[in-house]
Chains A and B, each alone.
Chain A
C-alpha cells in the first residue's frame, strides 16, 4: 500500500536543502547570506501552500476513482 503524499515532509526537506546551499554559497563569498535568506524565506510558505493544494487535489481524485 502506497504512503499518502505528505507536503510537510517535502517542505522540510526542500527547506533544509535550500538553507544548506545558501549557507554554502555565503561561506564561499558568492552571496550575502543574510540578505538572501531575508529575501527568500517567505517562499517556503508559498511552496508549502502549493504542495498542500496539490495534495488536496490528488486526494480528491483518488477518492473519486474509488
Chain B
C-alpha cells in the first residue's frame, strides 16, 4: 500500500475518532447542565415561535406571582380588573410541524393561591424524562400586564426580568439582566450572573447579586446592597448600605448615611448628607462632601477626604491619607504612608509611619506621633491650643503665627533646634533642648524628635516662604 493511502486512512480514522469523542462528550458529560447555550444542546439549530394569550379577571390589589425559566419575564401596568398574560414559546426542533406539536403542549398555568394569582408554565412536566422529547429545548417568554397598584413577585431562571410600575416588587433572576423601575413601595431583588438595575423605588430597596454589576438610582428609601464580584453604582438614594467584595463602589448623592463594607474594591462617595462609614482593602477610598462624620478604614489603599463637616477617623496602610477642609476633630492612623491635610478646623491626632506628616492651615489641638517621618505644621492662625509632636528619624517644623500664646518644650536627640520667632524668650536652653515662652504662654507646644531637627519659624519667615 502506498504511503498516501496509509496517510489518508489515518486521517479519516482520526477525523472519525474526533467526531465520536465530541459526540460522547456532548451526550454523556451533561452539556445540559453546563449552561443555557453551552455547547449548543437543546437551544441550538432551527427554532419556531408561537404565541398564546389569555386574560384573567382579578379583584383589585391581587398580588401576582410569575415563575419561569429559560426566557424573559416582563411585567408592566395596564387597566384595572384584569391580568393579561402573553406567552411567547420558542421551540428548538428541526421542522415547524414538530415545533408546533410540541408548542401545543406548553401551557400557561394561572392559579389562585393564597389570594394571589400565580402564573407559570408546565415546563416541569414537559422536562420530566420521558424518552424522545428529552432533547427538545424551548424558551418561554412572559409579557404580563397587571392592574395599577399590583404587588408582584417574579422568580426566573436563565432569563431577563423587567418589572415596571408596580406597587411592590420581589424579584429573583439568573444569567441575565434584572431591571426594576418605578415601584410604589419596597423592592427586593436577588440575582446571579447578571446585572441588576433598579430605578425609581419609593420604598426601601434590597439587592443581593453574585457575579454582576448593580446600578440603583432615585431610591427614596434606604438601599441595602450585597454584591460579590460586581461593580456598584448608586445615585440619589435615601441611605446606602453596601456589603461586597471584588468590585468598586460609587455612591453619589446619598440622602442619609453611607455605609460600605467592601474588599478588593475602590470606594467613591460624593455628596453624603449623613455619616459615612467605609472599610475596604487593596483599593482606595475617596469621599467628597460629607455632612456628618466620616470613618474610613482601608488596607493597602489611599484615603482622600474632602469637605467633611463632622469628625474624621481614617486608617490606612501602604498609601497616603489626604484630608481637605474637615470641620470636626480628626484621628488618622497610617502605616507606610503620608498624611497631608489642609483646613482642619478642630485639630488632629495622627499616628503615622514611613512618610511625611503635613498639616497646613489647622486649628485646635494637635497630637502627632510619627515614626521614620518628618512633620510639618502650619497653623491657620495664632496657636490657641496644645501642640504635641513626637517623631523619630524625622524633622519637626512648626510655623508660629503672630499672636500665639505658647509655652515651648522642644528636644532634638541627635539633631538641632533652631528658631526665628520674634518675641520668643528662652527659659531653658541646652544642646538639643529648648524651653521658651511666647505672648505670655498658655498653650503647651511640645516638640520631640530623635535623629532629626526641630525648627520654629516666625511670622516673617512664614510669610517669606508661604506667600
Contact = CB atoms under 8 A, between A and B. Distances in A.
A41 B5 CA distance: 17
Nearest to B6: A8
B22 A34 contact: yes
Interface residues of A, number: 17
A38 B23 contact: yes
Contact of B45 (A8, A32, A48): A32
Interface in B23-78: 23, 26, 44-46
Interface stretch (B12-20, B96-104, B259-267): B12-20
A64 interface: no
Nearest to B15: A41
Interface of A is mostly: helix
B31 to A, nearest CB: 11
Interface of B is mostly: helix
A8 B5 contact: yes
Given A8-B4, A29-B45, A32-B45, A44 B23 contact: no
Given A29-B45, A29-B46, A35 B23 contact: yes
Most interface-central of B5, B19, B20, B23 (chain A CB within 10 A): B19
Interface in A1-51: 8, 11-12, 15, 29-32, 34-35, 37-38, 41-42, 44-45, 48
Contacts of A35: 23
A29 B5 CA distance: 34
A31 B2 CA distance: 36
A15 B46 contact: no
Contact of B8 (A12, A41, A42): A12
Contacts of A8: 2, 4-5, 8
A37 B19 contact: yes
Contact of B12 (A31, A38, A44): A44
Contacts of B16: 41-42, 44
A12 B8 CA distance: 8
Contact of A45 (B5, B12, B19, B20): B12
Contacts of B19: 34, 37-38, 41
A48 B4 CA distance: 13
